[in-house]
Structure 1
Amino acid sequence: MSQLRGVWKSLLVGGLVALLAGASLGPTQAQEALERIKAQKTARIGLSNFAPTSFVGADGEVTGVSPELAKAFLKSVGADNVEGVVGEFGSLIGGLEAGRFDMIAVAMQIQPKRCEQIAFGDPELQFLQGFVVKTGNPLDLRSFKDIATNPNARLGLLTGAGQIRFADVAGIGKDRQVLFPDFEKAVAGLQAGRVEAVTGAGIALKHIVLTLGQPDVEFAELEVQPSDENGKPVIAVAGMGFRKADNDLREAWNAWFHQARQSGEALKIVTPFGIAESDIPGLDVTAASICP
């Protein structure tokens, strides 16, 4: 069974995670992506340390919901060697466009602005937003509006995260949006008093709180989910990211994923990461229904 080789280095002093791609894909990009992957039997996936959707395990291997799904798909098209390219979340779209890897496998939220830059596969996850707050939730923060209307509340977000859009729509000023490269640093910022809440996908935040095991922070369910520009509550969905030119690879992923959903293979792959069937959107929810 082919193994996913995780590539990982220590955090730099400035908090950056180095992209470990080595050389870009170079001239072979002119070749159809799927054809190249089949011929070379090798593929690269870009991701962040973002459990449980993608992370580096104790054994140094890259794993998580999206990498494991990507590995199964790539094996089905003959890629016996899959390399993980680990970087900051905010750098992934740029890394994909620069040819450092073939696809993004980090359960990235599908949003119209991102659709302008890259193409998304049909979504593999849906999730509600949540907060991490200090134990007892001293400011009683249970919605994005709660933060917008409390001048003493600052919100921690990941650089490039989809929740920035929700914060903007809710009216949280940029001076009260504090960006971090990853959730570990964001929660450390919460503990240090730099922010009063950290937001993200509930499944990721619950995993972070459980893993940290720190008594001074807790996960807070939101009473009201964030709204879009039209005032409608948003249930976020996430998918694999592809270069727009690589339509062949994206279509192959969609075909494989739909078959894996129907056969139960996809659910079997993601269940070990705490994902239930209710966390996977219906087959009628497609990237095309979200992207303009």
Structure 2
Amino acid sequence: MSPEPSAVYRGGDPVAEVLRSGFAESFHRGSVAVVDSTGAPVASVGDAASPVFPRSAVKPVLAVAMLRAGWKPANSAQLAISSASHHGEPIHLEQVEAILAGAGLGDDALQCPPDLPGDPASRRAVIAAGGEARRAYMTCSGKHSAMLATCVANGWDTATYREFDHPLQKLAASVVEELTGEPIAATGVDGCGVPVFAVSLTGLARASSRLVEAAEGTEERAVADAMRAHPRLVEGTGRTDARAMEAVPGLLAKFGAEGVHLLAAPGAGAVAVKIDDGAGRASMPVALRAFTTLGGLTVPESAKRAVEDLIRPDMWGGRLRTLL
């Protein structure tokens, strides 16, 4: 089990390696927290008790906060994009622009950095058409557009929605503490400019479990259902989280920068992973392996091949192997 919490994350244990022709050429260390369907810890690897920045993995919790504040998305697709780290495909841009239009706002109200689409085909299409970087293309624009719509719904200032003392961010912090079951250890600025709150992997796993176990009609369940109904909006076509949610019924998946990954499924509990070197390539394989061996996830026969491909991804002729 994880040691007593520290004020800072202490790093984890070896959790994955990359093999090439039977030779181990790279290693990843990290930590894992596994909880059951009640949110109680059942297993851990490394340091699952000390705080980490969840980065974009916390977006579903932030979406819960926005619903509680009175944001009323027009449909589940808009709710899914609010939890997304998307890649700027047309299906993503459509939902971001619809949220902004519904709030009477435009692209210029967004305060995330301008970017080109992360999806290669979409990026090529934009460049070929003479287009330029836009805030709406940025991977966090769904969250930002929903934050702005929440501010409009409440009469809050839209120019300062990223500030720590803004009513929206104060509410977000309180919901993070509620669903993780622990106080925020530190507050920083995420890559897109909004606050990011440090909590433990155990707390993040607990929050994920609470989303999928929530009763129908709750904000938590609404977010989980929207993400699972629109997996390609949550990340992108053919992307890791989308593939996992499409393969395993009921699975909720959300990655975050710097090697963070959360998985949860009703009745099975949840897993939170942090890869110490920040490599996203190892986070899903480790999370899925932990969920199936240390946690309660049962993979249906029809999904086993797809799940195994996610656990043991090809690395340009090499093969990643988990060490759990």
TM over 0.5: no
Q: In proportion to residue count, which structure has more helix? A: 2
Normalising by structure 1, we get a TM-score of 0.34
Normalising by structure 2, we get a TM-score of 0.31
